DNA sequence: TTTGACAGTTCTATTTTAGAACTATAGCCT
DNA sequence: AGGCTATAGTTCTAAAATAGAACTGTCAAA
C-alpha cells in the first residue's frame, strides 16, 4: 500500500488513519490535550527520539492539526498549539481512553478521571446518534455508499 | 520506547494504542465492521502483504479482539469474528470516520453514509457526557489523576 | 492428475525507527 | 570575554518493521 496517498482514498477512515494512524502521533496528541506545547516537553515526557518528534510535529502542522506559534523572538522559539481541526480529534482520543479504561484496566483502577465542567461530575464519553440521541451500537448501523464512492470501488 | 510493554503503561490511551495504534490494524478493523471475516477477503480488499495480515490477525486474537472460529473441518479453515471487546472499538472507528468526513473530505462528498436502524435516519456519531448528556468539548473537561496512577508518574 | 481455492509461511530488499551525538542561537554568570 | 545552560532542532549508524514475491500444505472438483 502507498501510505503517501492514503489520505486520498475514498474512505474517511483511511484518510484519518493517514494523519493520526500511528503510535507516536496518537501519543503526541494525548500530550497536546494535556496542554503540552513545547518540543522539549514532548520529548521528555514521551521519551520519543528527537528525530521522530520533529518529523511528527512537522506532519501535524502540514495537515493543519497543530499551529507552530512563536513565543520568543530571539532566539526564535516556537510552540505547537492545537487548531480547531486538532481539537476536533478529541472524540477519537476520548474513545480510545474509554476503551482502554474498560478493557485494558488492571487492579489499580483508572489512571485518569475526567470531570465535565458543565455538570461538575466525573463522566465517561458515550457515542450517540446525532438524530435520535440513542447510544450507538455497531449492529444497529447500516452502511450505504455515499456520493464520494463510486460503486466500483466496493 | 518499549512498544512491547506499552499495554502496561499507567495510561489508558497508551494501552489502547498498544493494541490498535497502527495503520494496518485500524484498516483491518474497518473491514471487520464491514463484515469481512476471512483471510483472503482481508488480503484482497486491503492489499496488505500476507505476512503482515497474518501477524496482525494473530495479535488481535491474542488481545481478545477477534476470535478465530473454524468454518470448515477438512481442510481446516478459520474466520475471524469480532468479540464484544472488539465490537466495543466501534466508537473509536466511528469517531475516526466522522473526523475524516468533516476534515478530510473532497468535492465528491462522503464515501459512506450511516443509517441508524433504531430511528431510520442518516446520522453522525456524537460524543456526549455520560452524566448530563451534553456534547463534549476538550476545553470543558478537567483531568484528575486516578487510583491507577501514582502521583509520581506525572 | 491437474487445477484451483484457501490460509497461511518463508525469503530478501527497502523503509522506518531507535539511540546517540552534534549544531545553532542567545541569556546569564563570573 | 569565556564558559555554562536552555531550547529546538539536524545528522549519523544500527536495529527493527514492512513490502513484495514466491513457496507450502490441504482438500474438492474436473
Q: Cell digits for B66? A: 477477534
Nearest residue to B80 via CA among B93, B96, B92, B63: B63
Distance A136 CA to D12 C1' (A): 50
Q: How confident is the model at residue B3 (pLDDT cuts 50, 70, 90)?
A: confident
Distance A51 CA to D11 C1' (A): 9
Q: Nucleotides on strand C with an atom closer than 7 A to protein CB?
A: 5-11, 16-21, 24-27
Contact A60, B60 (CB under 8 A): no
- Cβ count near A31 (within 10 Å): 17
Strand partners, B51: none
Rounded Cα–Cα distance for residues B6 and B18 (Å)? 6
Residue A146 Cα to chain centre, angstroms = 25
Strands (DSSP E) found in chain B: 66-72, 77-82, 112-116, 125-129, 141-145
Residue B63: the pLDDT is: 98
B5 CB-to-strand D distance under 7 Å: no
Model confidence pLDDT, tens digit, residues B122-132: 999 999 999 99
Residue B1: the pLDDT is: 72
CB contact under 8 A, B129 and A149: no
pLDDT > 90? residue A154:
no
CB contact under 8 A, A108 and B10: yes
Walk me through the domains of chain A, giving residue ranges and CATH numbers: 1-86 (1.10.10.10), 89-154 (no CATH)
- Chain A residues inside the 8 Å CB shell of B31: none
Q: Cell digits for B73? A: 473441518
Q: Nucleotides on strand D with an atom closer than 7 A to protein CB?
A: 6-12, 17-22, 25-28
Mean pLDDT of the region B93-107: 97
Distance A52 CA to C14 C1' (A): 19
Residue A152: the pLDDT is: 45
Q: Which residues contact B114 (CB under 8 A, 6 or more apart)?
A: A141, A142, A143, A144, B94, B97, B122, B123, B124, B125
Nearest residue to B55 via CA among B25, B92, B97, B12: B25
Amino acid at each position: 500500500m502507498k501510505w503517501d496517498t492514503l489520505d486520498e482514498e475514498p474512505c474517511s477512515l483511511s484518510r484519518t488513519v493517514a494523519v493520526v494512524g500511528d503510535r507516536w502521533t496518537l501519543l503526541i496528541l494525548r500530550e497536546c490535550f494535556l496542554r503540552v506545547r513545547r518540543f522539549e516537553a514532548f520529548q521528555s515526557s514521551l521519551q520519543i527520539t528527537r528525530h521522530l518528534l520533529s518529523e511528527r510535529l512537522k506532519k501535524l502542522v502540514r495537515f493543519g492539526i497543530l499551529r507552530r506559534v512563536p513565543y520568543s523572538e530571539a532566539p526564535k522559539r516556537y510552540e505547537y498549539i492545537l487548531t480547531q481541526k486538532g481539537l476536533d480529534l478529541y472524540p477519537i482520543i476520548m474513545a480510545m481512553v474509554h476503551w482502554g479504561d474498560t478493557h485494558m484496566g488492571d487492579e489499580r483502577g483508572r489512571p485518569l478521571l475526567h470531570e465535565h465542567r458543565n455538570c461538575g461530575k466525573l463522566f465517561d464519553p458515550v457515542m450517540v446518534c446525532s438524530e435520535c440521541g440513542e447510544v450507538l451500537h455497531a449492529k444497529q448501523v447500516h452502511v450505504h455508499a455515499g456520493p464520494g464512492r463510486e460503486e466500483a470501488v466496493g
